[in-house]
Amino acid sequence: MQQNSPFDQWLSTTAFGAASQSYIEELYEQYLHDPNSIDESWRKTFDSFPKTTVPEQSHSSVRDYFKRLARDNSQNGIGVIDPNVSARLVKLLQWVNGHRNRGHLDADLDPLKLWERMPSPTLSYKFYGFSDADLDEEFDIGGYVYDKERISLRELADGLKNTYCGTIGLEFMHVNDLQARTWLQRKLENLLNKPLFNQDEKMTFLRELTAADGLERYLGAKFPGAKRFSLEGSDAFIPLMKEIIRHGARNGVKEIVMGMAHRGRLNMLVNVLGKKPAELFDEFAGKHQGDGTGDVKYHQGFSSDFMTDAGIVHLALAFNPSHLEIVSPVVIGSVRARQRKLGDEAGGSVLAITVHGDSAVAGQGVVQETLNMSATRGYSVGGTIRVVINNQIGFTTSNTKDTRSTEYCTDIAKMIEAPVIHVNGDDPEAVAYAARMAVEFRTLFKRDIFIDLVSYRRHGHNEADEPLATQPVMYRLIRQHPTPRKVYADRLIGEGVLTENDAIELTNSYRDALDRGECVVPEWREMDMSAVDWGKYLTREWTEYESRFDAERFKELAHKVCEYPADHPIHARVEKIYADRRLMAEGEKLFDWGMAETMAYATLLDDGHHIRLSGEDSGRGTFFHRHAVLHNMNERKAYIPLANLHKHQGHFEVWDSVLTEEAVLAFEYGYATTAPKTLTIWEAQFGDFANGAQVVIDQFISSGEQKWGRMCGLVLLLPHGYEGQGPEHSSARLERYLQLCAQQNMQVCVPSTPAQIYHLLRRQMLRQIRRPLIVIAPKSLLRHPLAVSSAEELINGKFRNVIGEIDPIDPKGVKRVVFCAGKVYYDLLERRRENQQADVAIIRIEQLYPYPHEEVRSILAEFSHVTDYVWCQEEPLNQGAWYCSRHNFGADIPPQATLRYVGRPASASPAVGYMSLHNEQQRALVTEALAV
Ligand code: AMP
């Protein structure tokens, strides 16, 4: 592009993207018309340009004027085009571009016509100096728009209005990828004057609207006042979803995973997924179903198969809690797992659809987190279709001045340059067109796209709620507004597609189908269970497993995990770690934590199991202990020994995650609940960073199986240990996990040796049960000289839920038994050795939940004479394991014995900030625990 004018020169030095550039051009034009009409900061910028007299009639845009001037100058002042004609043409084209940029602001999107839109003066030809008298003037536009050569101003005005300001408002000029942007533009501009759908398709949409409307009315009549979070007002959501499925299938999609909050969910379950209405009615009647403690009906997931003219599509609606947006990353994680299972790297065959509410999508931060993950290597799924059910109200808040700070609820889409199709929910054909466009865009460009279904909510937040109290104006309008089904039925009757009686008949026959209670989705098919992987875990028992590993293979693998190409130079410190590992492989050194963990992965991979590890700094390990990814010192290349063991190994992936906890953990939960054959691990940089993901721990990990019957073998590695690093880097908040433990819902373990982490990780994969595993992982123990294990312990050992006394202490001489977990064990051990004490036995509880009573009892058998028992912890009294587990610690001691707490005093903060105070506290608690 020529950049000769002062304006161009200035623009080229700014950091504005293409979308902003055209905005600035328009602003500059406005400035030339009237300098006072624009913001002062811009005025000052433009004032600073060298002044050139711009002839009144001979320019259309300043950019073009300067360009022409530059070109004319370069041709010694000899102009080659008629300045008047070209100036008008350029203005005309600017006006066209104005529509591409901002046509959506004038689009007919709100069925209620309540939405106060931002003024959009650049959509009028008058803004560019044309008047009504020019309407019949013809312009030679050379195919610039609508593939037309010549067009009159009038024709163009109509065309632009229909294209950009109809019931679809397309926001796409922020998409910098030129191919994608051009495709979107063409897709919309080619629409002009073409019939969109044939009669059969129109009847399908009407039937689907009738179903959407019919179900809600039926439920309303049958269960008055019961909460159902009605879809009414946004009924077009049903044809929208079905059209995405149909068109997805045409574009190669075989599976779709969907996530949505409660609004419209029952409708989705019955009218898209094919849940039997009779089952839903039973739920309304409060009948107990399934083994667990269950969940309310509008959180239930569902799976089914759906027949399309391009074949079967498997559908899964994720179970979700009330925490609106959190289900999206869960869905996307599940999709990633399915894509991997199918070997579908490009992501064409499994599609994620996330459904959002207009308030939540703008309000909840996890949306940003999930969008930020959308194109990253470890988390992308080739684009997600994001549907916003925009009913212009969030519970009772409908004033956009209260709900958001942006024009659109979808403005966050712009952070990843995702296009947004705003569409009027009263026009099902436009909605279906948006569905197709979204599917095609995602198929072609493998990126996220938003559909903003602008509609309304016919009733209150739930059916017991009175919306007129808080939204009188909106709800008076809604009461007078015909339903989307009525609007469309009348339109089709007007077009002669059907008669009024036919329309009534559709309604009646849907109601009769509901009466029968059978599935009302004609496309529904019995699900093919042969592909389901969960069968062997259904006993839900803590089974035994073979923990031993062949010694020869172990040795071979131990060498293999230390190999990397000769022409792949790595950092000297990492080289030293690998050299040490080679000594471990040779049996010349004891295994440290990093090597033992690596060997857990290597032995599992060798047996064909898959592993996925993700978290902040996981490739290296926060504390420099893992180095699963070897970075080439000279090139931007990395080598992963664990992914290069041999041809038949399981798949290994390790990802340094985006700097996010909530969405990443939710993603991994989704992955783990879909891939029982993959050891899925999320690692927190420091244990308490999981605080940012608390909703995932509370609402999914700890309770998902009880609520929804969905098993999950996810592992959380949470670094923990009081080493004087202050309040935020000491505690993984063990107490929070223990407080959530019940009904055998998960495992909470505190491994204290390399052999223990090796066996713990292997056990998680090899036992035929999938339950979450919370690992309170060490920091300083990663390099502690006593925290080492022999090859024998790894090869022939197993995970020990409790580790008894290791020093040769005569049990008879023991006066006190100290229970503990984690790093404090080594502090106690070292001090006891220092003191040469033989009167205190130290027992490590390595699995705090489920509590291993039997093993503890057998270890305590030789201390039956002891009456003084202590639980010693580093954490303050109100934190750590004491309050949640003391009933367990006390349950196995002799009846006459007492159990006491030794640890830090109760504290508001997890740890002190001063090293000296930390040391003092640590010394005191160790002293007290051993002072007999
Ligand atoms: P989906 O592929 O998610 O539609 O799941 C298909 C079927 O697999 C479900 O209906 C369940 O029977 C089973 N299933 C899927 N995920 C799990 C899980 N996490 N735990 C137990 N069963 C599952």
Percent helix, percent strand, percent coil in the chain, to nearest 5: 45, 15, 40
Q: Which atom, in ligand 1's list, is nearest to the CA of 338?
A: 2
**Ligand 1 center from residue 701 Cα (angstroms):** 16
Per-residue CA distances from 681 to 116, 133, 337, 763, 774 (Å): 48, 69, 13, 14, 10
| pLDDT band at residue 293 using 50, 70 and 90 as cut-offs | confident
Tell me the per-residue pLDDT of 775-807, one tens digit each, with 9 for 90 and over.
999 999 999 999 999 999 999 999 999 999 999
How many angstroms is it from 854 CA to the middle of ligand 1?
Answer: 34
Q: Going by CA atoms, what residue is nearest to atom 10 of ligand 1?
A: 303
Predicted pLDDT at 85: 72
Q: Whose CA is nearest to atom 8 of ligand 1?
A: 532
What is residue 75's predicted lDDT score, i.e. its pLDDT? 45
Q: How far is the CA of 675 from the centre of ligand 1 (A)?
A: 10
Going by alpha carbons, the residue nearest to atom 14 of ligand 1 is: 534
Residue 786 phi, psi (nearest 5): -85, -15
User: At 188, which amino acid appears?
Assistant: L
Is 38 in contact with 31 (CB distance < 8 Å)?
yes
Alpha helices in 802-872 (DSSP H): 824-835, 853-860
How many of the other CB atoms lie within 10 Å of CB of 224?
A: 9
Q: How far is the CA of 533 from the centre of ligand 1 (A)?
A: 8
Q: Where are the alpha helices (DSSP H) in 54-82?
A: 62-74
SS3 739: helix
CB atoms within 10 A of CB 887: 10
Helix axes 484-495, 500-516, angle to 10 degrees: 140
> 407: CA distance to ligand 1 center in Å?
40
Ligand 1, CB cutoff 6 Å, lining residues: 303, 316, 532, 534, 673, 710-712
Question: Closest ligand 1 atom to the C-alpha of 334?
Answer: 3
Q: pLDDT per residue over 846-881, tens digit each? A: 999 999 999 999 999 999 999 999 999 999 999 999
Between the CA of 542 and the centroid of ligand 1 the distance, in Å, is 20
pLDDT band at 9 (very low <50, low <70, confident <90, very high): low
Nearest CA, atom 5, ligand 1: 303
Q: What distance in angstroms lies between residue 769's CA and the mean position of ligand 1's atoms?
A: 14
Q: Which helix (H) or strand (E) holds 842?
A: strand 840-845
What is the rounded average pLDDT for all residues in the chain?
Answer: 92
Ligand 1 centre to CA of 304 (Å) is 10
**Pairing status of strand 715-719 against strand 773-777:** parallel
| pLDDT mean over 656-682 | 98
How close is the Cα of 303 to the center of ligand 1, in Å?
A: 8
Q: Is residue 123 scored above 50 in pLDDT?
A: yes
Phi, psi of 896 (to 5 degrees): -85, -5
Q: What is the pLDDT of residue 24?
A: 60
Q: Phi/psi at 817 (nearest 5 deg)?
A: -110, 125
Atom of ligand 1 nearest to the CA of 672: 19
User: Could you identify the atom of ligand 1 that is nearest to the CA of residue 673?
Assistant: 19
The residue to mutate among 673, 678, 770, 771, having the most atoms of ligand 1 within 8 angstroms of its beta carbon, is 673
DSSP 607-655: TT-EEEEEETTTTT-TTS----SEEPSSSS-EE-GGGGS-TTSPPEEEE
| Residue 894 CA to ligand 1 centre (angstroms) | 46
**For the CA of 710, the nearest atom of ligand 1:** 20
Nearest-angstrom CA–CA distance, 193 and 189: 10
- The torsion defined by the Cα of 30, 36, 39 and 44, in degrees rounded to 10, comes to 100
Atom of ligand 1 nearest to the CA of 314: 4
State in Å, rounded, how far the first CA of the chain is from the last one.
85
Which of 706, 710, 745 has most ligand 1 atoms within 8 Å of CB, for mutation? 710
Q: In the predicted model, what is the mean pLDDT of residues 279-308?
A: 87
Residue 802: its pLDDT value, please? 98
Alpha-carbon torsion (549, 552, 553, 556), positive or negative:
positive
Inform me whether the pLDDT recorded for 66 exceeds 90.
no
Of 655, 724, 635, 729, residue with least CA distance to 688: 729
CA of 524 to the centre of ligand 1 (A): 17
The separation between CA 442 and the C-alpha centre of its own chain, rounded to angstroms, equals: 17
Please identify, by atom number, the ligand 1 atom nearest to the C-alpha of residue 303: 4
Nearest atom (ligand 1) to Cα of 705 = 20
How would residue 580 be classed by pLDDT, with cut points 50, 70 and 90?
A: very high
The pLDDT of residue 445 is: 97
Q: How far, in Å, is the centroid of ligand 1 from the Cα of 531?
A: 10
Atom of ligand 1 nearest to the CA of 318: 3
Minimal-distance CA residue to ligand 1 atom 7: 532
- CA dist., res. 668 & res. 379, Å (int): 9
**pLDDT confidence of residue 400:** 87
Span from the CA of 285 to the centroid of ligand 1 (angstroms) = 26
What's the CA-to-centroid distance between 537 and ligand 1, angstroms? 11
Domains and CATH numbers, the chain: 1-81 (no CATH), 85-178 (1.10.287.1150), 199-526 (3.40.50.970), 551-796 (3.40.50.12470), 805-930 (3.40.50.11610)
Count other C-beta atoms under 10 Å from residue 872's C-beta. Answer: 24
Mean of the pLDDT values across residues 1-8?
Answer: 47
Q: Which of 327, 532, 539, 671 best tests ligand 1's pocket when mutated (most atoms within 8 Å of CB)?
A: 532
Atom from ligand 1 closest to the CA of residue 316: 4
DSSP state string for 301-331: -EEEEEEETTEEEEEEEPP--S-GGGHHHHH
Residue with CA nearest ligand 1 atom 18: 710
Task: Provide the percentage of residues in the chain whose pLDDT is more than 90.
Answer: 83
For residue 561, CA distances in Å to 339, 582, 628 come to 27, 9, 9
More confident residue, 829 or 532: 829
Distance from the CA of 519 to the center of ligand 1, in angstroms? 20
Residue nearest to atom 3 of ligand 1 (CA): 316
How many whole angstroms from 918 Cα to the centroid of ligand 1? 48
CA 535–ligand 1 middle distance (angstroms): 9
Candidates 269, 300, 303, 529: which one to mutate for ligand 1, based on the most atoms within 8 Å of Cβ? 303
> How much distance in Å is there from the Cα of 331 to the middle of ligand 1?
13
Tokens of 422: 């705003």
Which residue CA neighbors atom 21 of ligand 1 most closely?
710
| pLDDT confidence band for 80 (50 / 70 / 90) | very low
- In sequence order, what DSSP letters do the residues of 863-878 get, joined into one string? GTT--EEEEEEEEETT
Residues in the chain: 932
Residues 151 and 586: their CA atoms lie apart, in Å, by 82
Alpha helices in 176-313 (DSSP H): 178-189, 199-222, 237-250, 265-271, 277-284
Burial 765-784 (b: 16+ CB within 10 A, else e): bbbebbbbbbbbbbbebbeb
**Does residue 396 register a pLDDT over 60?**
yes
Task: Tell how far the Cα of 489 is from the centroid of ligand 1, in angstroms.
Answer: 39
d(CA 713, CA 722): 28
Question: If pLDDT is split at 50, 70 and 90, which confidence band does 16 have?
Answer: very low
pLDDT-derived band at 742 (thresholds 50, 70, 90) equals very high
Nearest of 172, 173, 122 to residue 19 by alpha carbon: 173
pTM (two decimals): 0.91
Q: Average the pLDDT over 742-757 and give the result.
A: 98
Rounded distance from Cα 451 to ligand 1 centre (Å)? 28
Give the position, in ligand 1's atom list, of the atom nearest the Cα of 537: 21
Strands 350-357 and 311-317: unpaired
**Of 905, 900, 891, residue with least CA distance to 929:** 900
From the DSSP assignment, how many helices (H) and strands (E) are in the chain?
A: 32, 25
Residue nearest to atom 9 of ligand 1 (CA): 303
Which atom of ligand 1 lies closest to the CA of 538? 21
How far away, in angstroms, is 529 Cα from ligand 1 center? 9
Lowest mean pLDDT of 244-248, 282-286, 348-352, 362-366, name the range. Answer: 282-286
Return the pLDDT at 76: 38
The predicted structure's pLDDT at residue 48: 62
Can you name the residues that pair with 679 across neighbouring β-strands?
Answer: 611
Taking alpha carbons only, the member of 385, 420, 55, 156 closest to residue 251 is 385
Report the chain's C-alpha Rg in angstroms: 33
Residue 712 alpha carbon, nearest atom of ligand 1: 19
Ligand 1 atom having least distance to the Cα of 304? 4
**315 CA: nearest ligand 1 atom:** 4
Selection from 251, 439, 271, 232 nearest residue 353 by Cα = 439
Confidence of residue 38 (pLDDT cuts 50, 70, 90): confident
Beta-carbon-side half-sphere exposure of residue 205 (alpha carbons within 13 Å): 30
On whether the CB atoms of residues 314 and 255 are closer than 8 A, the answer is: yes
Distance CA 684, CA 689 (A): 6
Ligand 1 test: best mutation among 245, 306, 331, 534, most atoms within 8 Å of CB? 534
Q: Which atom of ligand 1 is nearest to the CA of 711?
A: 20
710 CA → ligand 1 middle, Å = 7
3-state secondary structure of 352: strand
- Give CA separation, 152 vs 127, 141, 260, 487, 903, in Å: 17, 10, 46, 34, 85
What is the whole-number distance in angstroms between the Cα of residue 278 and the centre of ligand 1? Answer: 22
Ligand 1 atom with the smallest distance to the CA of 255 is 2
CB burial of residue 582 (10 Å; 0-12, 13-18, 19+): middle
